[in-house]
């Protein structure tokens, strides 16, 4: 190779150099980044994990705050508002989520039964009294939307106290809302056994085995309200109805008054009330328990419980229970596995055989034995102990594997050479390197615990429905029998469980990829 010639380089191209011009090692210009911050940065790049985290946060906020803002409690039940459909005030003017169900090809008898409710009270069981009819005469069929909040209509209350009767009168005058309606004489009520106590028949009927509505010449029902002269009525009237207050003159020239209450034995009254208005009076005026009106965003169960409240309370219990079990299992399993993996040898052999024996016992047997010996204890405590007895074994195995992986690394040997004690080596040098895998495992244990708890309560092995406690699995089990008639009972709990499981899986996979990049894409 020919040597480079410097003879032709001009002098002005040369310059004196100083010591500073020579290259030396320089201080890093970038800022230091911690392991956790680096893991968080990798996590944020995973869009699926971010979406899962957002959904989990929303479900958690739902479980925490909804029970505080709803007007109902888990122990609330109502025997008339059972399997009531979901209703949202935002959609009240539409045919979606309005508390109504579509009824098609309904006969005249059934249609008139519901339509007459709205004619009497103004609370339309047939939504807005709108319907379509096909055919004529006896072959006519009707289609309409049936309001599940007003389809109960009227009820008889035959144990009303005099105090409540007077309170209703006061409430009616103060609010201008009618609760009590004219009664029907027992002699004029339907003769069929299944309809004798049906207060919605305020009109003439016939039939002893099956109730048939009697129509006038115009095709309308014929009211049979109970009325009598004033001398025969013992403080059994007083209503917002004008004809009830002032009476009306009959064909014979006498003044008659409607009977609004019938005195029963024991000093109680039998009254015919509109249940929707009575519900509002009873809760907001009589009990004053914070319930202002019958309004169920997610509908009600077959026992009349508010699904929204039960679902939020069940979700809160599931989150608290699973997180508690996961934390305890993490602590116990991490300590147990750290001792196994660090000391090894005979210590590891003995401890591993003990965990093998426990893991070989089926969880169902553990739960059954605990229920037999702790029958008087809370079912939640039984479930916690059952999950804890074997739940920490997986965490201990993961920790043990990580300790075997890191305990012979050079930095650990260097620290031991410098005189570091076992406790410092375990918690300062080895355990921090295993924390990523443990966090990932813990995040995946939480949905597993929720799913197991839901399965056990769904199958009825664990009964968590007591007082103000319920479970998502209990709600799903309650709705299973009514999938064809009231699918909303099981729909919302099932949707919650599906969203939660999917979100936790996405979230757990994101944590795995963030804390263990080498496992990215592994299942």
Cα gap 316→74, rounded to integer Å: 12
Q: Is the pTM above the cut of 0.95?
A: no
CATH (domain of 484) = 1.10.3720.10
Q: What is the pLDDT of residues 298-307, one digit of tens each?
A: 999 999 999 9
312 lies in the same domain as 457: yes
Structure tokens at 466: 């007591």
497 lies in the same domain as 387: yes
Q: What is the pLDDT of residues 191-212, one digit of tens each?
A: 998 898 999 999 999 988 899 9
CA distances from 416 to 283, 403, 424 (A): 72, 15, 9
Range of the domain at 135: 89-147
441 lies in the same domain as 403: yes
Phi and psi dihedrals of 105, rounded to 5? 55, 45
Phi and psi dihedrals of 485, rounded to 5? -100, -35
315 lies in the same domain as 352: yes
Cα gap 411→409, rounded to integer Å: 6
469 lies in the same domain as 401: yes
Phi and psi dihedrals of 30, rounded to 5? -85, 150
> What mean pLDDT do residues 214-240 have?
77
Phi and psi dihedrals of 464, rounded to 5? -105, 10
33-37, 113-117, 208-212, 374-378, range with greatest mean pLDDT: 113-117
386 lies in the same domain as 242: no
104 lies in the same domain as 234: no
The residue with tokens 């002032």 is 246
Query: Quick check: is 272 in a domain?
Result: yes
187 lies in the same domain as 282: yes
Q: What is the pLDDT of residues 480-515, one digit of tens each?
A: 989 988 999 999 999 999 999 999 889 888 888 887
Query: Quick check: is 23 in a domain?
Result: no
Number of domains in the chain: 3
- Whether residue 516 has pLDDT greater than 90: no
Tell me which of 254, 287, 320 is where a domain ends.
Answer: 287
Query: Quick check: is 78 in a domain?
Result: no
Which one has a higher pLDDT value, 122 or 245? 122
Query: Quick check: is 466 in a domain?
Result: yes
Query: Quick check: is 36 in a domain?
Result: no
Structure tokens at 98: 């309005």
Cross-strand pairs, 109: none
195 lies in the same domain as 116: no
Tell me which of 101, 121, 147 is where a domain ends.
Answer: 147
**How many C-beta atoms lie closer than 10 Å to residue 11's C-beta?**
5
458 lies in the same domain as 310: yes
Query: Quick check: is 292 in a domain?
Result: no
Query: Quick check: is 18 in a domain?
Result: no
Query: Quick check: is 186 in a domain?
Result: yes
164 lies in the same domain as 215: yes
Say which DSSP state 262 is in: E
Q: What is the pLDDT of residues 136-195, one digit of tens each?
A: 877 889 999 999 999 999 999 999 998 998 899 889 988 989 999 999 999 999 999 889
User: Over the chain, what is the mean pLDDT?
Assistant: 86
310 lies in the same domain as 419: yes
């Amino acid at each position: 190779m020919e040597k480079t010639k410097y003879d032709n380089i001009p002098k002005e191209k040369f310059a004196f150099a100083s010591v500073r011009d020579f290259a030396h090692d320089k201080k890093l210009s970038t800022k230091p980044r911690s392991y956790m911050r680096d893991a968080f940065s990798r996590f944020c790049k995973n869009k699926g994990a971010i979406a899962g985290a957002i959904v989990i946060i929303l479900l958690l906020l739902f479980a925490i705050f909804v029970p505080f803002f709803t007007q109902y409690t888990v122990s609330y039940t109502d025997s008339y508002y059972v399997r009531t459909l979901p209703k949202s005030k935002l959609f009240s003017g539409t045919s979606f989520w309005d508390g109504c169900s579509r009824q098609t090809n309904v006969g005249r008898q059934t249609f008139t039964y519901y339509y007459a409710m709205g004619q009497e009270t103004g609370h339309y069981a047939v939504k807005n009294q709108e319907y379509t009819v096909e055919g004529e005469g006896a072959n006519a069929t009707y289609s309409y939307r049936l309001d599940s909040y007003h389809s109960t209509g009227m009820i008889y209350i035959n144990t009303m106290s005099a105090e409540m009767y007077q309170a209703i009168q006061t409430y009616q005058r103060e609010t201008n809302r009618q609760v009590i309606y004219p009664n029907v004489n027992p002699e004029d009520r339907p003769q069929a056994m299944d309809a004798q106590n049906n207060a919605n028949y305020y009109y003439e009927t016939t039939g002893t085995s099956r109730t048939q509505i009697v129509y006038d010449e115009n095709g309308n029902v014929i009211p049979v309200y109970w009325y009598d002269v004033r001398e025969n009525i013992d403080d059994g009237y007083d209503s917002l109805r004008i004809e009830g207050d002032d009476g009306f003159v009959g064909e014979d020239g006498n003044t008659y008054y409607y009977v609004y209450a019938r005195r029963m034995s024991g000093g109680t009254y039998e009254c015919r009330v509109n249940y929707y208005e009575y519900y509002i009076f009873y809760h907001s005026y009589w009990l004053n328990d914070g319930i202002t009106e019958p309004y169920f965003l997610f509908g009600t169960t077959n026992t009349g419980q508010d699904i929204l409240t039960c679902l939020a309370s069940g979700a809160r219990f599931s989150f608290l229970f699973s997180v508690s079990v996961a934390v305890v299992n993490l602590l116990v399993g991490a300590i147990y596995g750290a001792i196994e993996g660090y000391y090894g040898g005979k210590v590891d052999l003995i401890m591993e055989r003990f965990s093998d024996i426990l893991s070989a016992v089926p969880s169902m047997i553990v739960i059954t034995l605990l229920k037999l010996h702790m029958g008087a204890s809370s079912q939640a405590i039984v479930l916690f102990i059952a999950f804890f007895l074997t739940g920490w074994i997986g965490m201990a195995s993961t920790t043990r594997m990580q300790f075997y992986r890191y305990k012979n690394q050079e930095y650990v040997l260097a620290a031991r050479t410098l005189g570091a004690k076992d406790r410092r080596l375990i918690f300062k040098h080895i355990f921090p390197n295993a924390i990523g895998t443990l966090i990932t495992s813990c995040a995946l244990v939480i949905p597993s615990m929720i799913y197991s708890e839901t399965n056990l309560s769904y199958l009825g092995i664990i009964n968590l429905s007591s007082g103000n406690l319920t479970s998502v699995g209990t709600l799903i089990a309650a709705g299973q029998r009514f999938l064809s008639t009231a699918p909303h009972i099981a729909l919302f709990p099932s949707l919650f469980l599906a969203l939660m499981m999917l979100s936790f899986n996405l979230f757990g996979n994101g944590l795995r990829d963030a804390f263990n990049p080498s496992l990215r894409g592994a299942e």
